[in-house]
Amino acid sequence: MRVLLVEDDELIAHGILAGLRAHGLTADGVSNAAQAEAALATLHCDIVILDLGLPDEDGMRLLARLRAAGMALPVLVLSARDAVEDRVAGLRAGADDYLLKPFDLDELVARLHALLRRAAGRSVDIIEHGPLRLDPGSGAVFLHGQPVDLSRRELALLAALLHASGRILSADQLRDSLYHFNEEIESNALSVHVHHLRRKLGADLIETVRGLGYKISTVKP
Amino acid sequence: MSLRLRLLLLIGISLSLLWGAVAIWMLRSLDDEVHQTLDQRLAMSAQMVAGLMSQNPAAWDGRSHTQDKSALSMPSMAKGFDCQITSLRGDVIMRTPGATVDAVAMRKPGYSERVIKGERWRSYTFETDSLRVTTADRLAERDLLLQNVAIAAVVPFVVAMIGSLIVLWLGVKSGLLPLERLRQALARRTPETMTPIPERAMSRDLMPLVSTLNALLQRVHVTIHRERRFTSDAAHELRTPLTAIKTHLQVTRITQGKDAALALDYAEEGVARLQRTLDQLLTLSQIEGPFSWDDGKLADAEEVARLAIRDASASSNAPARIVFKRAGKSASLAVPQALAITALRNLLDNALRHTSAEQDIVLEMQLAGNTCVFRVLDQGGGLSAEELAMVKQRFWRRGSGQGSGLGLSIVAAIAERFGGAIELKPRPEGGLEASLALPIKN
């Protein structure tokens, strides 16, 4: 899952990004509304965390504008303003959830998973695909009831493919899900991770669509 | 005590006292008048009888020797009113029938009073050459007369008095009706209602009150709004570093090694920031509160400038690059030293924060009249007109600057408390000029 964090306070942004990455999420941060718009236009993101107090534009206005322009990603608003009016206004402007600062990192991650799950139309957090079970919250993977040990990247790759539920994801999209901006990516990194997943979970799980990308196999293993 | 009761008592009691005093006065003079009139009548009766007797002395002359018992009887006059005619020797010539003998017994001429069988009698004796006429009346009769007169006068008076008190009560009640309506209108309001009271429905006498009340409501509304906003801003300012601290501490729990150490460093930075903001909030509330800052020390302007420069240089990472220029003499400031340093240092901090490390900052000091003016000149980016308008608002900071957003608020609060002034204006050659005028001791 790739998270875009829009937060102007550098200290908080550092903390959230480190926390999200430690929880196995791919996270990128931008510090103002203009950068947020640019990032949303160019990156493949799954979810947005938006702080309301931005230096160049009020977060609420940015959100309303993005929603009006058809941005459908789930948005979790972070704010230190705890008045009921503020929270209501945030939800009305198109936020899917509202979390007050200071918050609990575990709660933030759980809410992100819940938002994503609802956006995918599932009511339970566990994703099942044939004999394969993935719990995105804890990062645990089971094959035929047996736990499978996956690295952080492999887990992110599997989650991205499962979330797409059969749609083809391009290599770029997958790389966006796996790596944040500043990470160095080796050219064959993605295929290495795909190879490892196939080895651990079965060769048929991930199909390569030539020239387009990868998708999860609709023929269940 | 309710206004109505107070009005009622005030007017009622003064009305009763006033009219009561008038009534007593009236009765007193009536009493005197009646006694005088009756005395005159007593005297006139005696003189009249004497006059009549002297016109025909033959009729009674021969009787002068007769015994008391057989005295000629005169027609009865009135109850309690007796008359006796005697010779100068004391022989009774005539007497009203059934007369109280003692009452008309011989006396010296003129008025006299005596008590007979428990009743007071007043008599008048008139002497001619040969006769002595005594008339007497019972004072109880006079009192009865007076009593009747008093009752005839007092009853309508008391009725009128009670009537006017009732009218007064009704009048006060209806007169205070607009006030009661205003009271009800105010009683219906919740503490949050800040809308003005409608003025058109009120009586004209209450208009000044309602206008004053509305003006007060307006001021309270503005104050509450400002305080709420300040509280909300303060909460926001405190939550932000708190969030950073909490997040980084949680990161240390789920990471190891270098990442955890980095997160701890960040958490510490958050603590420092939280402390700075808290310190500044406390300073601000102390400057605005009743706290006495007077430490008895004289704050020399030049020393204040030097100490502020030292503090500002110590806290900023940049090496000292503040140039101090003094024009003329120094003087003692009428501001506590600690606060003067705080104010000046905040201006220097701002200048340091918004200029690059190579640029010098100039601090000029000059006496002007009763004030000492400190000018902080920088060559930084300056401020736009809109930014200048917002710059003294609490928690306003430029972009995502590192300050708490309270520095200038503190300077302004110090200037306001001690009668100084702070002014910010862009310099023609670029950058900002902040001038702080502080009063000096005479």
Cβ contact, residue pair A105, B250, below 8 Å: yes
Residue type, B60: W
Supply the pLDDT for residue B67: 46
DSSP assignment of B189-220 equals --TT--SPPPSTTS-GGGHHHHHHHHHHHHHH
DSSP structural state of residue B65: G
CB contacts, 8 Å: B275 with chain A: none
In whole angstroms, give the CA distance from residue B351 to residue B362. 10
CA distances from A24 to A143, A156, B283, B421 (A): 20, 7, 44, 55
Return the number of CB contacts < 8 Å for A and B. Answer: 78
Supply the pLDDT for residue B61: 63
What is the residue-averaged pLDDT of chain B?
A: 83
Write the ipTM: 0.73
CB contacts, 8 Å: A80 with chain B: 235-236, 239-240, 243
Q: Which of A80-84, B114-118, B145-149, B247-251 has the lowest mean pLDDT?
A: A80-84
Neighbouring residues of B197: CB distance < 8 A, sequence distance ≥ 6: B182, B185, B186, B210, B213, B214, B217
The answer to whether residues B361 and B376 touch, using CB atoms and an 8 Å cutoff, is: yes
Residue B50 has pLDDT above 80, yes or no: yes
Supply the pLDDT for residue B68: 47
Supply the pLDDT for residue B62: 56
Supply the pLDDT for residue B201: 67
Supply the pLDDT for residue B435: 92
Residue B413 has pLDDT above 50, yes or no: yes
Q: Which of A142-151, B85-94, B225-234 has the highest mean pLDDT?
A: A142-151
Cβ contact, residue pair B244, A104, below 8 Å: no
Supply the pLDDT for residue B66: 46
**Most A CBs within 10 Å, among B250, B275, B395, to test the A interface:** B250
Q: Which residue has the higher pLDDT, B197 or B68?
A: B197
Interface membership of A103 toward B (CB under 8 Å): yes
Interface membership of A18 toward B (CB under 8 Å): yes
| pLDDT single digits (tens) B318-365 | 666 888 888 888 888 888 888 899 899 999 988 888 888 778 889 999
Distance, in angstroms, between B404 CA and closest chain A CA? 12
| pLDDT band (50, 70, 90) for residue B182 | confident
Give the pLDDT mean for B22-33.
88
Residue B271 has pLDDT above 90, yes or no: yes
CA distances from B261 to A57, B191, B254, B256 (A): 34, 51, 12, 8
Reported as type and span, the H/E element at residue A127 is: strand A127-129
The per-residue pLDDT string of chain A (221 residues; one tens digit each, 9 = 90 and over) reads 789 999 988 889 999 999 998 888 889 999 999 999 999 988 888 899 999 888 888 888 999 999 998 888 999 998 887 778 888 888 888 899 999 888 999 999 999 989 988 887 776 778 888 888 888 777 788 888 888 888 888 888 888 888 877 788 888 888 887 887 777 777 788 888 888 888 888 888 888 888 888 888 876 54
Q: In chain B, what percentage of residues exceed pLDDT 70?
A: 91
Supply the pLDDT for residue B442: 75
CB contacts, 8 Å: B267 with chain A: 15
Cβ contact, residue pair A11, B241, below 8 Å: yes
Cβ atoms within 10 Å of A3's Cβ, excluding its own: 25
Nearest CA in chain A to B264: A15
Each as own residue / partner, the long-range contacts of residues B368-372 (CB below 8 Å, 24 or more positions apart, any chain) are B368/B437, B370/B439, B370/B440, B370/B442, B371/B420, B371/B421, B371/B437, B371/B438, B371/B439, B371/B440, B372/B301, B372/B331, B372/B333, B372/B437, B372/B438, B372/B439, B372/B440
In whole angstroms, give the CA distance from residue B200 to residue B198. 6
Residue B264 has pLDDT above 90, yes or no: yes
Reported as type and span, the H/E element at residue B122 is: strand B119-127
Interface membership of B387 toward A (CB under 8 Å): no
Residue B400 has pLDDT above 70, yes or no: no
Cβ atoms within 10 Å of B73's Cβ, excluding its own: 12
| pLDDT band (50, 70, 90) for residue B59 | low
Distance, in angstroms, between B254 CA and closest chain A CA? 7
Distance, in angstroms, between A13 CA and closest chain B CA? 8
User: Vertex A23, ends A22 and A24: CA angle to 5°?
Assistant: 90
Distance, in angstroms, between B436 CA and closest chain A CA? 29
Give the pLDDT mean for B98-123.
79
- Let me know if B50 is exposed, middle or buried by CB neighbors in 10 A (0-12, 13-18, 19+): middle
